[in-house]
Amino acid sequence: MEDEPPSRKAEEGSLSKRSQRQQERQGKLPRRRKEVKRSLRRPDCPEHLLGGSVHWLPEHPGSEASASVEDTAESCPKRWDRCRRGHFLHGPYPATHFGPKACVLPNPTSVMHIQDPASQRLTWSKPPLNVLVIRKIRDETLLEPFKELCRFLVEEKHLMVYVEKKVVDDGSLMRDDSFSAFRNQLCTFREGFDDISDCIDLIICLGGDGTLLYASSLFQGSVPPVMAFHLGSLGFLTPFKFESFRTEVDKVFEGNAAIILRSRLKVKVVKGTFQRNEQLLSAQENGILPHNHINNEAGKITLQLQVLNEVVVDRGPSSYLSNVDLYLDGRLITSVQGDGVIVSTPTGSTAYAAAAGASMIHPNVPAIMVTPICPHSLSFRPIVVPAGVELMITLSPDARNTAWVSFDGRKRQEIQHGDSIKITTSCFPVPSICCHDLVYDWFDSLAQCLHWNVRKKQTRLTDASDSSETEN
C-alpha cells in the first residue's frame, strides 16, 4: 500500500487536534484541564505582596505559555525568597520584567545600589586602630570634652589618635600642664600637606555641623565612618550627646550600628572649554548641546572636589542679576536669572536649599536638588533630578557679569565666560553613624533643630453638646 501524501497527514493531524480541543471545551477531558489549572495557580510572588488578587488565564496544553508556567512553578521558592522582605520600610522590590517578553535593559555600569535602609548596619572586618578626632576651633567650651575623649581613646582603648596640628597648638592647650605630657602621644597632621586618607579607621567629631562638613572635605575618596557629637550651635548632623560618650563609643566599636550613607557631589571646575557663539545658538535653542562645544586643548580642570552639602553659584558683588545656563546630560534645560542657583544633596536640602524654599529630603534618597535663589520668575520652582545625571552650569552668552561659585561654603572663586561647572553624584558617600536609627534620628533633628511642624496643639472638646451647638 502506497504511503499517503504529507498534506493529507497534516490535515488529519490538525482535525484530530481540533476535535480534541472541542472535547476539552465540552468537558469530556476534565482531568487534563484540571492539571493545567493546578499548574497555573502558582504565581511568582506571594499574593499579599502584589497588592491584591491575581488572576491567571489558562493556556492550551501544548503552548509555550504552559511550558513557561511549569518552569515558573519549579522556580517559585527562589522567587519567593527574592520577594520576601525582612523589613517593609519600602515595598517589595519592583519587578524588572513586564509581560512575557519585555524587561528592563541590564546596565553593568550602574554605580548606585539602593537597599532597605533598615539593613544599613556598620560592621568591622578588623578592629579599628586609628581614630581621627575633629574639634571645632575657636571654642574654649570644647577643650575639656576634647581632652577627656583623647585620654579615653589613648589610655583606655589603646588607640592611635590623630588630631589637626592647629588644634593641638591652641594657646589654651599649650598652657595646660596636664595636657602637655599627653600631647606627645597624639599624631598631628596639617590640612593640604599631610594625606591621612589611607590610615584612618573612624572619625569622631566634636562640635556642630561644620565639623562633619570639614571631616568630609579631608577625604576625597573613601570616607571612614563618622561619629558626630552635638557640641555646637545647631547640631542637625550630630545626633550623639557627649555625656554618654564612653558607652556610645563602645557600642560603635562592637559593630552593628545603624548608618546613613550621605551622598556627595563630585564637582569639576573646567576653565576655558565651553564655546557658545552665534553659529551654535539655533542648535542650542532646540535644547541640544553640540558635540564641538568642548575644546580639549584649551580646557583645564582647575578644581575637583567632593561636596557634602551644596554647590552655590551666585552673582557675587555685582548688582546685576546672575544669568547662567543649566545643562542636564548635555541638554540645555533652562537659564537661571536671579541671585543664583543651588545644587545640593539630600543632606544639603536642610541647609541653604531649605532657606531658599526647597523641600527637605531624607539623606537616603538618591537624588540631586536644583534650587533657584530669588529667581526672576514666579514659576521657577525647585526641582529634584535622579542621582547619577550630570549637571553643567555655564555663564549665558548675554550675561552682564561673571558669577561666583562656592563648595560647602569654601574655596569660593569666580567663573568667567567659557568656564563650566560639572556636577554629578559621587561614588564615595559619607557613612554617618546613627544614634538610634536613620529614620528616628532625621525626624528628631527636624523637630529639635528646625522646629519642623512644632505648634500649639488644639484642645479637645470636653462636652459633646459643644459640638452640636457649634453646628447649629
Q: For domain 265-274+289-428, give its CATH number from 2.60.200.30, 3.30.40.10, 1.10.1840.10, 2.120.10.90.
A: 2.60.200.30
Q: What is the pLDDT of residue 138?
A: 80
CB 346 within 8 A of CB 263: yes
> What is the rounded distance in angstroms from the CA atom of residue 251 to the CA atom of residue 209?
22
Tell me, what's the pLDDT at 255? 86
pLDDT of 458: 87
133: nearest Cα among 225, 205, 194: 205
Query: Is 50 exceeded by the pLDDT of residue 87?
Result: no
Q: What positions carry a catalytic annotation? A: 209
201: three-class secondary structure by DSSP: coil
For residue 75, the tally of other CB atoms under 10 A from its CB is 11
Domain 121-263 sits in CATH at 3.40.50.10330
Tens of pLDDT, residue by residue over 315-327, are 999 999 999 999 9
Residues of the chain with CATH 3.40.50.10330: 121-263
pLDDT tens per residue, range 355-389: 999 999 999 898 999 999 999 999 999 999 999 89
Three cell numbers at 58? 489558562
Tally of CB atoms within 10 A around 307: 25
User: What is the tens place of the pLDDT at every residue in 289-306?
Assistant: 544 444 443 568 889 999
How many other β-carbons are positioned within 10 Å of the β-carbon of residue 275?
14
Integer angstrom CA distances of residue 247 from 151, 216, 250, 345, 366: 15, 25, 5, 32, 32
Rounded CA-CA distance 308/431 in Å is: 11
Distance of alpha carbon 281 from alpha carbon 285, whole angstroms: 6
HEC assignment per residue over 132-182: EEEECCCCHHHHHHHHHHHHHHHHHCCCEEEEEHHHHCCHHHHCCHHHHHH
Q: Report how far apart, in Å, the C-alpha atoms of 91 and of each of 47, 262, 271, 429 are.
A: 14, 22, 45, 24
Site of grid cell 484540571: 34
Q: Where in the chain is the domain with CATH 2.60.200.30?
A: 265-274+289-428
Evaluate if pTM is beyond 0.75. Answer: no
Phi, psi for residue 269 in degrees, rounded to 5: -105, 115
Contact criterion met (CB below 8 Å) for 423 and 344: no
